[in-house]
Structure 1
């Protein structure tokens, strides 16, 4: 009796579906001028405004001969990440869940996780794109040196992006509606802005406050980027703080996230 050879069907459909979701989400993302401005443009605009203050361009012995504007480049970089992960991403995903889009997708070949993955990729890429813009403007307009330890700086950037996206996913997980997501996201957003040094650079905070801030994800990330910018390898302690917050936030998001 002849037997027919059975050829397994290629498992390319899920990949194609995920790419289709990514393209669709990218088009929707590019149609949101508000998100694009706050993530891509606002950190650079803020850096430019601060750089136009004459005293911020003067070398200060209390800062080791550096200028205030030198300290604000890493801060502006972190600001872009915070905007992407805590302000832009949570309302989108929570809105999809609130409208039942994720639940309906669970009955199709396209899994809801494809939307989550697409949002993480898009907002992470936007944050990194804003980083390049901030560093370019800082260098060209105000003579801020490029990171003296590029590999340490890149490691710090990737950890910080992973951390903020994990925090954003956690905000989505614990928020049942877009209003709750906006409220929680805004509260965490302003706290993270402070610890990142947006209002006062971490390096010039009072000792007690600085020690407290340095155990927060973006206080530690600010120290990592600042140290790498000066040419030294970032402290493993600060890298460990950012990594620990990333793991905790991701674990919390995985444990509590619901598609409907």
Structure 2
């Protein structure tokens, strides 16, 4: 337990020293909230099922926060460590692999939680964000989503050889997913063709699961099954492919 805590503290400090990581995790979602919230407000809109723009957007922004940490942060960090021989040196120490990799996930989850909390507080104060009736259901949806997308991120982290490659691949994977999934823009505003294509993307099902839980529709079984499948596949594939050097 002490090893895991010390490793996690070290990774937390390293995260805070990375301005790009801090920007995309903590500031970018808030910028989107204030930009689109200022433009569209949060009055009930028939095109959004009677919900406000901010009410619909916040679950999507939470999906972006999860994806930023899991699809961009995790692969880039581990690829940097792999290229620099850090993973190889860790493997030669008494530290268990689960401690090294778990610290990466823990840091991602901590900052995802902080960013999501800031987002919700700002949305409530400045735009009257409607809070979920059952926060426990929303929390469950977010935890399953995070586990699934981090497992997906581990697939990328398992094979990308260096930070430059990881950054390029992560951006190519994440940014189209962010815009097509309904995370960046409310899904009702997207064309049916885009929505059909987006069903193949894991982040789409994160948006569906979190948004349904937030709006009071409960847990979407289809989205849950897809994310459980992504989680299982991510664990199986990354366990088989992960390289320490």
TM-score by length of 2: 0.92
Aligned to 2:57: 72
Q: Quote how far apart the aligned CAs of 1:122 are.
A: 0.3
Say which of 30, 35, 40 aligns to 2:21.
35
Aligned to 1:111: 96
Does structure 1 residue 84 correspond to structure 2 residue 69? yes
Q: Quote how far apart the aligned CAs of 1:199 are.
A: 4.3
Aligned to 1:11: none
Does structure 1 residue 256 correspond to structure 2 residue 219? no
Say which of 120, 127, 136 aligns to 1:142.
127
Q: Which runs of 5+ in 1 are unaligned?
A: 1-14
Q: Quote how far apart the aligned CAs of 1:185 are.
A: 0.8
The higher-RCO structure (CA 8 Å, 6+ apart) is 2
Q: Quote how far apart the aligned CAs of 1:232 are.
A: 1.9
Counterpart-to-counterpart distance in 1, 2:98 and 2:237: 16
Q: Which runs of 5+ in 2 are unaligned?
A: none
CA distances 1:142-172 after superposition (whole Å, capped 9, x unpaired): 0110112322211110111112211221111
Aligned to 2:170: 185
Say which of 66, 74, 79 aligns to 1:94.
79
Q: Bigger CA drift: 211-220 or 68-77?
A: 211-220
Q: Quote how far apart the aligned CAs of 1:211 are.
A: 3.6
Moved over 6 A (4+): none
Say which of 125, 131, 136 aligns to 2:110.
125
Aligned-residue CA RMSD (Å): 1.8
Aligned to 2:203: 218
Give yes or no for contact 2:59–2:183 (8 Å, CA) kept in 1. Answer: no
Say which of 180, 190, 193 aligns to 1:205.
190
Q: Quote how far apart the aligned CAs of 1:248 are.
A: 1.3
